A and B are shown apart, each in its own frame.
Chain A
Amino acid sequence: MMHKNTLIGLVIVAMLAAAAYLATGAETRDASPAADSGTADSTVCIYPKEYMQTHHMQVLADWKEHAAHEGPDAFMKTPDGRRFQKDLATCLGCHDNNRFFCFSCHNYANVKPNCWNCHISPQDLP
């Protein structure tokens, strides 16, 4: 009986270690290339329009997480090879030409995201 408990304990420890390893993302760390400041191509969005309409919140949440961990190294590469800094300012760089860009849909759908708790809303800019 003692032997079995030890075995179960070892398995749990191994699983915890594996979980910790995966959670830190140590195995996926790639040598981050030097941040060459590729200027964003402002004619096409990072994903197709249909995808962005339904999934933009997920992209923004991912970006927020990566930017918080990797800071200025947080870049995303689109399938066609363009590079974008993961930053809300990258989005607003193009999308602030219409200051109601976020709000027209969010108001219609009665969605109140918490982006502007910290970030300055385009509507609040002079």
Chain B
Amino acid sequence: MKKVFMPLVMVAVLSCIPYVGVAYFGMGYLFGVIIPYLAVLLFVAGFAWRMYDWLSRPVPFCITTTCGQEKSLDWIKHQKLESPATKWQAALRVMMEVLFFRSLFRNTKAELHTGPQLAYASSKWLWMGGLAFHWSLLLIGLRHARFFFIEPPLVVQLIERTDRFFELTLPAFYMTDAIVLAAITYLVARRLRDAKMRIISLQTDFFPLFLIGGIVLAGMSMRYVAKVDVLAIKALMMNLAAFSFDAPGSISPLFYIHLFLASVLAVYFPFSKLMHAGAIFLSPTRNLANNSREKRHVNPWNKKIKFRTYSEYEDDYREKMKKAGLPVEKD
């Protein structure tokens, strides 16, 4: 179980670093200004580099995975999402994948029963857990816009108002906070519960989950448990958004734990499996149109073939062919 505890210990150590640094050595400037800037720089540069790398790879053939009727004769019903024929249909399919995890919805589970008999059944838990996790993270991220804008965009305000719909506690309770915690718990438990999953899970699978869990817990405890000075935090975040290097005011170390773990996540992002966020748009099995019968795909790195047509051949040998009595097309 080393591969489960090592990431846990790493996240614990990572959250101790800013606490010690700020609470005992007054390194608020390092953890509040320098490290966040470096992290964002590395995130943007790393993300762009990874995307550039993938985008510059040639995709010679369309290797679309399909699971429906491709575009054919008029009277055969074409399944536009399962077997997209145009770029727009393919784009729609990618977006359905990104927003609703469409192919995970088809997840199946195999079970061996006595008999022996192998049974397959639909298994939607991972789809539900993943959807809850990703959507909560998206909404939580958007909600954070209130720290970066004087007046956040209307969409964000609507999201925020919906999120605290229950009005349970006095800094209003956000339902996405509970959902993301439940989803992380499920996603960790899923990897631990089943022996097959335990074997194929790696440290790099647990680390991001624990890291995001740590960020969420630090953020939630700032809001619901140990209150922090929101005004100083907003001033710092507005400064960061304006690329200013002003020193932060006095803010509780808990905030620096949250910010530092988020910075670590940003740095870790481009170099890890978290790049699936960008890669999903580039997966050639999803984003290409299944039009190999309509359109000729030529491999761009194939050598130019020098063809020799019959008319050229005849031009070269016409006289000899005539002498030998062979028929020629042109005289």
Judged by a CB distance under 8 angstroms, whether A60 is at the interface is yes
Question: Could you say which residues of chain A place their CB within 8 Å of the CB of B227?
Answer: 54-55, 57-58
User: Given known contacts A54-B229, A109-B146, is B172 in contact with A114 (CB within 8 Å)?
Assistant: yes
Task: Give the total of A residues in contact with B, Cβ under 8 Å.
Answer: 15
B141 to chain A, nearest CB (A): 15
A94 to chain B, nearest CB (A): 20
Residue from the list A57, A108, A112, A114 in contact with B234, Cβ < 8 A: A108
Q: Which residues of chain A come closer than 8 Å to B157, judged between CB atoms?
A: 110
Chain B residues with CB under 8 A of A105:
231
Which residues of chain A have C-beta atoms less than 8 A from B152's C-beta? Answer: 110
A8 interfacial contact with B, CB 8 Å: no
Q: Does A43 contact B (CB under 8 A)?
A: no
Whether B167 contacts A61 by the Cβ 8 Å rule is no
- Give the contacts of B145-187 with A (CB-CB under 8 A): 146, 150-152, 157, 160-161, 167, 169-172
When chains A and B are docked, how far (Å) is the Cα of A53 from the Cα of B157? Answer: 24
Query: How many Å lie between the Cα of A54 and that of B151 in the bound state?
Result: 21
Which of A60, A108, A109 sits near B170, CB closer than 8 Å? A60
Q: Report the interface size class on chain B.
A: 10 to 19
Contacting residue for B231 out of A53, A57, A113, CB 8 A: A53
B228 on interface, CB distance cutoff 8 Å: yes
A111 to chain B: closest residue by CB: B230
A residues near B (Cβ < 8 Å) are 53-55, 57-58, 60-61, 105, 108-114
For B169, what are the chain A residues with a Cβ–Cβ distance below 8 Å?
A: 61
> Across the interface, do B146 and A53 meet the contact criterion of CB distance under 8 Å?
no
Q: Closest residue to A105 on the B side, CB-wise?
A: B231
Name which residue of chain B comes closest to A51, CB basis.
B227
Please, which residue of chain A has its CB at the minimum distance from the CB of B149?
A110
Q: How far is the CB of A53 from chain B (nearest CB, A)?
A: 6
Residues B230 and A109 in contact, CB atoms below 8 Å apart: yes
Specify the chain B residue showing the minimal Cβ separation from A115.
B170
Q: A54-B230, A57-B227 are in contact. List 14 more A-B contacts (CB 8 A).
A: A53-B229, A54-B228, A54-B229, A57-B171, A58-B170, A105-B231, A109-B146, A109-B231, A110-B146, A110-B151, A111-B230, A113-B170, A113-B172, A114-B172
Asked whether, in the complex, the Cβ of A61 is within 8 Å of the Cβ of B229, the reply is: no
Within 8 A of A (CB), among B212-256: 227-231, 234
Q: How far is the CA of A39 from the CA of B171 in the complex (A)?
A: 30
**Assembled-state Cα–Cα distance A111/B234 (Å):** 12
Taking CB atoms, residues of chain A closer than 8 Å to B228 are: 54
| Residues of chain A within 8 A of B171, CB atoms compared | 57, 111
Docked Cα-Cα span, A113 to B170, in Å, equals: 8
